[in-house]
Structure formats: C-alpha cells, structure tokens
Amino acid sequence: MFNEKIILMLIAFICVFPFNVKAKSSDVPGHSITAPPVTLSASEVAAALGWVSSHENRCGGYYLEEPFADSKELANTNLIHITSNQGMLFAQHGTSIGQRVTITRFGQQIIANKAYLYRDPVSGKLSTIELSDDVTLREPNSLVIAKSGQFDLKTKGQTLRDILYRTAIYANHGLHFNPTYRPEDLEKARKITQLNAWGRAAEFKQNESQIYEFRDASYSTCPPVAKVWEVKASHIKLNKNIGRGAARNARVYVKGIPIFYTPYLNFPLDNRRQTGFLTPTIGTSSRTGAYLGVPFYWNMAPNYDSTTTPAYLSKRGLQISELFRYLTPTSQGNIAGSVLPNDSAFAELQSSYQAKYQTSTDSYIQAELRRLQNATDTRSAFSWQDETRLNESWSGNIDYNRVSDDYYLIDLNNNLNEVTQNQLLQQAQLNYQSQYWKLIGRVQGYQTLHPLDQTVVQNQYTRLPQLILDGEYPNGYDGFDYFISNEVTHFDITNTPGSNTIAPIGNRLNIQPGISLPLNRPYFYFTPRLQFAFTQYDLQHITPTNPHHPSRALPIFDIHSGLFFDRDIHLFNSAYRQTFEPQVYYTYVPYRNQENIPVFDTTVNTLTYDELFIYNRFSGLDRIGDANQISYGVTSQLIDQQSGYTKLRAGIGQIFYFIDRKVTLCGTDSVIPCTNLPNSPENNFNKSPLSGVLTYHLNPEWSLIGNAIWDVEDNQFNNQSITLHYQTESQKIINLGYSFLRNGDFQQGDIPNNSASNLSQTDLSFAWPISRDWSTIAKWTQNWNRHHFQNLLYGLQYDSCCWAVRFVTGRTFTNLSPNNTYQYNTQFFIQFALKGLGNYGNADPSQLLSNSISGYQTNFGQDYTND
C-alpha cells in the first residue's frame, strides 16, 4: 500500500492539472448497478437512486442522500484526490487502477470499479481518466449512475454513458458531510423532501459546474415507482446556474401515452425569471367564445419585465394584451393595456339595443344610444398603477384606468367575482410628510360608464387640482393640541348623458384651525375641542339668483369623554380580563343655510358605530351639518390573559338629538333630484337608529363579525351584516354571510323607498381538502330581492406529488338583456401542472379564487414538499 501511494504521488507531480492522490478506502458507500439503466425495472431504478418507500410521505417515499466528504483543502484550489483499494498496472500509454476508484474535487465525487489513466502523447502528462464497471457521480443534490465514462483533466469535464440520474430542483443547498454532525442530525439531513427530477439517458456531459446535458434522455419529477408523466427528448440541458431547463424534440408522455410534441421546450428549475413563451392559455366564455392566448415573457432586466399576450377570441377576433412591471429604488408599479380591433360581436350589441330602445322618449336612453352607435368596434383598455417613495418625506402614487366604451367591462372582463365598476378612477397624487405637517397634491377624475339596462350613473366631479395642507402640534403650550386643515380644490364636470342641466363648477377654499385639551388618565379621558371652519367658493354656471362667491363660517365644538373599567373573570376554565368602556360625545354646530352652495363631493355618511362619534354627518366639505346632540355608547372586550388575544368585542350606541336637523344635501343648484328635505321625518326624530357591532372569536378557528343598524322609529333594520368565518391551518375554510341594506339595490324604474329596492343577499363559500391530494372550493351569492344569483363558483382540485389538475367553473350576473332577461357570463378553467415543468390550461384562476373565498390562498402546482 505504501509503494502504491508513493507511485501515485509521483504521477501527480508531472500532471498538467495538479491533483493529490491517496490510496485508502472511502467511507462513503456507492451504488452498484449490474445492468444498463435502460433495462432496469421501476423498483431497481428506485433502489439505485436511493428511493425509500414510506406511506407517511406525500410521494409514497423519499430519496436518501449519501453524503460525501469535502476536504477543506479542496475548497479554494483545483486539487483532485484519487484513491483506490487496489494497486496499479502500468502500460505503454496509461495506467490501470482497479477496485473502487474514487476521484474527488470540491463539490463532486466520482466512483468507479475500474479506471484507466491516459497521458497526453506530446507532453506525457496525464490528460484523461477512463472509467468503467459501474460509475457513480455525486454532487450536492445530484446523482448520476453510469456503465462507463470519461474524466478530462484539462477541461475538468466528464462524459458518462448509459446513465441513470437524479437531481434536485427548486433546491438551495445540498448535503455535504460534516464531522460535527450528530448521527440523528445526519440521518435527518440525508432525507430529501424537496422536488427531484430523474431520468435515463444514453449520454451525460458536464463541462461546467451545475450545467448538465443529456442525449436521448427522459425527465420526470414523479417517484420512480409511480411515474405518471415524463418528457423524452433527443437533448435535455439543465442549467442550474440560470435556473432553466431546455429540451429539444420533446415528447410529453402521461402514463406511457404520448400527448404532446414540441421541437423546443423551456421549463423552470427554480423561481428565477427568464425570457420565453409561457404556457398557452385556452378556455371558453359565453362573452368571448373559445379563447386561445400565447403569452410571451420578456425578462428585460432584474427590475423590469413585460408579458405580451396575443389571443384569439372566437366570437370577437384577435386581441393583444400587454403587462409591463417595474421596480426601481424609489418606485414600483405596472402598466397594462389591451386592444381588440374590429370586434365582430360589437355590431350585434349595437343592433340589439337600437331595436329595443329606438322608440323610447327618455333623454338618457336616447343619449346612450347615440354614444353606443358612435362607439368604435376597436375595444381597448389601459391601466397604470404606481407607488413612489422619493425619501422619508416625499411620496406619490398613480392609479389611472380607462376603457374604450361603456360595455367593455361587461364583455371582456374575465374576473367572475368582480362586480362591474361603472366609475373608473383616474388619479395622481403627491404627498409630503414631516413631523408636524402633511401636504397632499392631487389630480383626480373618473371615467363614468353608462351601459343601458342599468341604473343611471351620474358623472362625477373632477378635482383639477386639489391641494391639502394639514398641520398638527400636539402637547403644546399648557398641554393644548393645536391643528389646522387647509384645502383648495378646482371642480369641473361633464354632463351626464341626456341631462340638459349645466352643472355648476368652480373653486373651493377651506381653512379650519382648531385647538383641543386632551386629559388622559389610565381610567378615563376627557377631550374638549374647538374648531372654526371657513369655506369660500368661486362659482360658475349657477342659478342667477345665487351668489358667485358664497362663503360659510362655522364654529364647531365637541367633547369626547369616556371611562375604562376592567375586571378579571374566569370562563370555561380560562382566565380573561373584561373591559367596560362607556363613552359620550357631545357636538354643537350652529345652523347655517347652505342651500346656495353646490354639492361637489359630499354625501351623507352611512351610520355605523364609529360614525356616532364624529362631528359631521356628511362626508366632504360642501355641507357641515347643524348639530346639538349627544352620542353615547358602550364597548366591552374580553381579553385572554394568557395570550393577550381579544376573544370578544361588542359595542352599542345611539345619538340623542336636541334639535331638528335643517342642513341637507338639497340646494338650489342641485343637479340630482333631492329627496332628503329639511322637513323629512328622519331629520325630525329625536333619536338616531341604534348601532351595534360584534366581533367574537370562539377559538382560533371560528370567528363571528356582525354589524346592525336598528331603526327605533320604524322598528326595523336599516342595514345589517353578519359573517361567520372558519379557517384552519390545513386550508379548511367556511364563510357564511348575510347582508341587508334598505334601498341598497335601487335600479332604474324602481319606486323610491319601496321594499323591492332593498338589498338582501347571502354569501356562502368554502374551501375544503377532501384528502391529502383532493380538495374542493365553492361560492354562491344570492340576491333574494331580485330572485337571481349574483355569482356561482365551483372548483375541484387534485394536487399530488408530481402533478396537479383543477377545474373551476362559474357564472356571474352582468346585466339585463334588451328583452329584460338576466344576462350571465359563464367561464370555466381547466389547469394542469406537471411539477417542475409548468402549468398548462386556460387562464390562471388563482386570483379569482383568492378574491372569492375569504382567507383562501392557493399555490397550485407550486407545492413541492414531500413531508
């Protein structure tokens, strides 16, 4: 043994590539195959690749990695170690080594029963090592078993023939032998639970680290004993350095049956992005017909990318969609757009509405018909969202949305769960924030859509621009808080179709300073506050009898006070702290006649528990309500003393009015007919409806949230909602909700304050795993007053170790047809995932499912765990 070691060391010194040779047995066992990999049975392949069957694992087993020692002296050198259990036989052109030859360099180990060392005929130095009699190549997370091979000392590459391989994908590290490992830690580390790909090949080449090339090869991520799918190709390249794989002349087999051929297939090995065609999307919709889209992804830079999708819609034609995403040190956002030239179904829509309404005398309908007839059949949409932060003080955002016509979202919006929006926001905003001051500069408008057969939608005022400057100095002189709110806005508007009334426009200036004296103690708080609101207008297009420069000056006084009580109690063998928090809120605002002030951006607040404790019953600055009232309420909480978790929170409150309310939204320049007159009954009641709120967590899985407004005069609910939510860590989810809102579903032609216009709606949804691999989801939203469902959704999913499939179908109510029948958009999604290869099917419904079912998150085709 000593002589063999000396001879090997002499050979090492004359090699062009330095390596260190030791002649001792390795402690790491190797694989031995006695037949070519192509002839091995599934069980023999599994054993050779280190597969261990186990019913506890999702894949029915796992791979057991054989660690190998990486000498520290090899980490930063080009040294190679060669060891053998038997001596050498010298020949004229090379040297033969037998019985378990081990070649080791950092991060790689090759074992063979025999090796032959060749020298360069010119230099006489060692150049090539031929390997035979069962060859095993190991790298972290990778294993290649071959009948023979070659190791090139000049290029550091290797070629193996007649091979069987396994390599981990979506993996960040491999197993190296560490002498400090405890036996139980080493055994745990050897167990591979991430996704692995394996296959056979006639030849394997590796000339660069982490780049594997196979000839006449197969590729699959399924367990070797249960191969559901595989790819066979004339050439497969796995480049782990860039995280991509590629196959040429690829055939996809499922259960041994060829189902797909492509001359070139590119697929991911990890989550990194790369330019190329994405999985085609196919499907059908009652609005678009059959759909085929071929997205092309362009990885422009690490912080920019673009996805372009040409799509064919059988009922409409060719559509081009674009999504551009960006991320810079100061901003992030996306720009999206689509265009559908010469929509072949749009003319049919125009004709059907023309036939239905051509004899109508309604000015709104006739105006809408003209808009529809003049609309182009080139359908398009554009959207830009941006969030920018320049530094700690300055930030901004953009939210701009536009479509080509009033019917685009009805015809071409693919989100089954989304209620069609008829007001599309178009806004840009700049913000400044310092310790005491906040500045907002904003331009804001809306594109208002006016589809026929829906309630008339009024155009909204634009803010071009709006400037807001707020300042706050807490804990000032003698404990006072000082604050001021300033705003100046220019309002403009385009008339709603069919309206002959010229709406007022103009400028509004509001200056509102204030002072308060907070008195806070552990058991109570008492905060008196005094404000002065001055508002000045500069108006155009107003009634001749109204002033062009109306103004309003109002003092506002309020006091907010409350007490804190708590006690320790025991319920159901648990310790809780119960709080009792009564509060009162007094408000005084004198009456000012504001009927000569137009309503630009102001509405009546919907009464909720929190709204009991604000001074103005209107949102916006065009109305400040007269008030001499006191609000009272009580809140109680039940807090788990061990976890600090709030198990229950309940509150109830009401407003008591000392005077009748005179200020309403009505005015002499009102564009919209006004029903809330000063002498309306609701303005003469001395009590508001009762407002209640409840949040109850039965346990970490069950929760109940409820809100209710009870009209004490009519003894009925004005609105109420209740939601029951159940969710476990294993994605078992149930949502059950009911909502009611008086006059909440008012449609064109309804009688005001009639029960037919009330919104009465239930919402039931669930996501439930049937077994480890099977799961189902569903949603049903029913409009009980209108006697139709709002949307239906159902899905079934199978997600196994190496492949997944899901089917989702749904219908959503869109509008009434020209003959007054309910119209629905019906879609279905079928999606397949060959894990490690990609997703196939029609448009990805993941976002739809997350939006439809509260708490649901899907990682379809991305769950690579094998626990």
Nearest CA to 587 among 650, 513, 517, 527?
527
DSSP character string of 523-556: TEEEEEEEEEEEEEEEEES--TTS-SS-EEEEEE
More confident residue, 770 or 816: 770
C-alpha distances out from residue 588 to 503, 625, 626, 659, Å:
32, 10, 8, 10
State mean pLDDT over 809-823. Answer: 77
For the stretch 486-499, pLDDT in tens is 999 999 999 888 88
Radius of gyration of the chain (CA): 37
Instruction: Point out the least confidently predicted range of 225-229, 308-312, 425-429, 453-457.
Output: 453-457
Whether 177 contacts 199, CB under 8 Å? no
Highest mean pLDDT pick, 48-57, 627-636, 751-760, 817-826: 627-636
State mean pLDDT over 503-516. Answer: 97
Nearest CA to 597 among 672, 503, 669?
669
Q: Where are the alpha helices (DSSP H) in 27-180?
A: 42-48
Q: What is the mean pLDDT of the chain?
A: 85
Cα-Cα end-to-end distance for the chain: 46
Strand 61-64 vs strand 191-192: parallel, antiparallel, or unpaired?
A: antiparallel
For the stretch 141-173, pLDDT in tens is 889 999 999 988 888 789 999 999 999 887 654
Whether 278 contacts 251, CB under 8 Å? no
Query: How does residue 94 score in pLDDT terms, banded at 50, 70 and 90?
Result: low
More confident residue, 814 or 344: 344
Query: How does residue 197 score in pLDDT terms, banded at 50, 70 and 90?
Result: very high
pLDDT of res. 434: 96
Instruction: Point out the least confidently predicted range of 249-258, 301-310, 422-431, 845-854.
Output: 845-854
Residue holding tokens 């528990």?
609
Three-class secondary structure of residue 373 per DSSP: helix
pLDDT of res. 30: 41
- The domains of the chain, with CATH numbers, are 2-272 (2.60.450.10), 769-867 (no CATH)
For the stretch 249-293, pLDDT in tens is 999 999 999 998 989 988 888 888 778 777 777 777 888 888 888
